[in-house]
């Protein structure tokens, strides 16, 4: 999201949990997180270059970027190189370890409530196409391949090699 749009929707909208005049402490946290994000490239050159490395893209630097929204600031969790969050980096490491022990990639995968970014990461690890399933096919943010309730997923026995289900239950 462009910076001006973020400011308008987060700091200047009175319905936002970080509205500058209604919730000044949260607004200060968001502004502080944004300022730190802007200074990270300089800080990485001056302080500790190479202290962190992203296993997804190989980026190296001192700090990951902060996640900013109107209701929370999560410090140092987003890779500046590829945009992967900590849970996505962890999943990629787990997938690589599993592939090393199995010796072959799965042919069919299903991801429940899997974001487009996470599917991209999985497919670029050399895995088969990952079909995305969500309970609501109308949510354009997730654009699933099919909609189903996880408790009654229309998958036959042995029809799927791997199932990804993170941040669902």
Could you report the per-residue pLDDT of 31-78, keeping only the tens digit for each? 999 999 999 888 777 766 668 889 888 888 888 999 998 889 999 999
Report the pLDDT averaged over residues 82-88: 87
CB within 8 A of 24, min separation 6: which ones?
Answer: none
Could you report the per-residue pLDDT of 117-162, keeping only the tens digit for each? 777 777 777 777 788 888 877 766 667 888 888 888 888 888 888 8
What's the CA gap between 147 and 168, in Å, rounded? 14
Residue by residue, DSSP assigns 97-159 as: HHHHHHSS--S-EEEET--HHHHHHHHTTTPPPEEEEES-TT-TTT--SEE--GGG----TTS
Domain ranges of the chain: 3-78, 105-165
């Amino acid at each position: 999201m462009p910076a001006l749009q973020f400011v308008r929707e987060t700091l200047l909208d009175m319905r936002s949990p970080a509205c500058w005049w209604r919730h000044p402490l949260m607004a200060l946290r968001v502004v502080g997180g944004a300022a730190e994000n802007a200074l990270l490239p300089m800080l990485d050159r001056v302080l500790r270059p190479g202290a962190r490395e992203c296993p997804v893209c190989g980026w190296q630097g001192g700090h990951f970027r902060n996640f900013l929204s109107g209701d929370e600031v999560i410090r140092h969790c987003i890779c500046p190189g590829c945009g992967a969050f900590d849970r996505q980096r962890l999943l990629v490491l787990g997938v690589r370890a599993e592939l090393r022990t199995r010796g072959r990639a799965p042919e069919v995968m299903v991801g429940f409530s899997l974001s487009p970014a996470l599917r991209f990461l999985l497919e670029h690890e050399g895995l088969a196409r990952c079909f995305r399933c969500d309970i609501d096919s109308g949510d354009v943010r997730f654009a699933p391949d099919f909609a189903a309730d996880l408790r009654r997923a229309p998958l036959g026995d042995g029809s799927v090699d791997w199932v990804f289900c993170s941040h669902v239950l």
